């Protein structure tokens, strides 16, 4: 099995219908080592603080942001653009917090 080719698609999270009410934001990985084990852990721990369903997308690949293993499967290096998508009562707060972790805090590695 080739892990890099796996896709975790969440059909309900990939729709762009007018009634979607999802919060979506693109972010770019800027820390030197990319999205390796420690940043994946930090991202998943942060995502688990929210009630919303949260996915991280890299191209057509989408993973559950609350799963460290799935986040690692993105193999997102420095310069990779990811899309954060959340649906639920605290979706905006979830997207803002995860975007802040990735873009401003840079996983606290700078």
Q: Which residues, in sequence order, are bridge partners of residue 64?
A: 55
Q: Is 36 a catalytic residue?
A: yes
Q: Give the DSSP H/E element, type plus range, for residue 5.
A: none
C-alpha distance from residue 25 to each of 22, 29, 33, 92 (Å): 10, 13, 22, 10
Q: Using CA atoms, how far apart are residues 37 and 23, in angstroms rounded to an integer?
A: 26
Which one of 25, 30, 36, 58 is the catalytic residue? 36
C-alpha distance from residue 98 to each of 30, 34, 94 (Å): 14, 15, 6
Catalytic residues: 36
């Amino acid at each position: 099995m080739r892990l890099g080719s796996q896709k975790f698609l969440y059909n309900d999270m990939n729709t762009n219908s007018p009634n979607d009410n999802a919060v979506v934001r693109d972010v770019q990985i800027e820390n030197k080592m990319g999205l390796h084990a420690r940043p994946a852990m930090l991202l998943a721990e942060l995502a688990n603080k929210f009630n919303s369903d949260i996915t991280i997308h890299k191209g057509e690949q989408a993973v559950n942001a609350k799963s460290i293993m799935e986040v690692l499967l993105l193999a997102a290096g420095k310069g990779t653009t990811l899309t954060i998508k959340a649906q639920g009562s605290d979706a905006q707060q979830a997207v803002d917090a995860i975007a802040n972790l990735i873009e401003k805090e840079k996983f606290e590695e700078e």
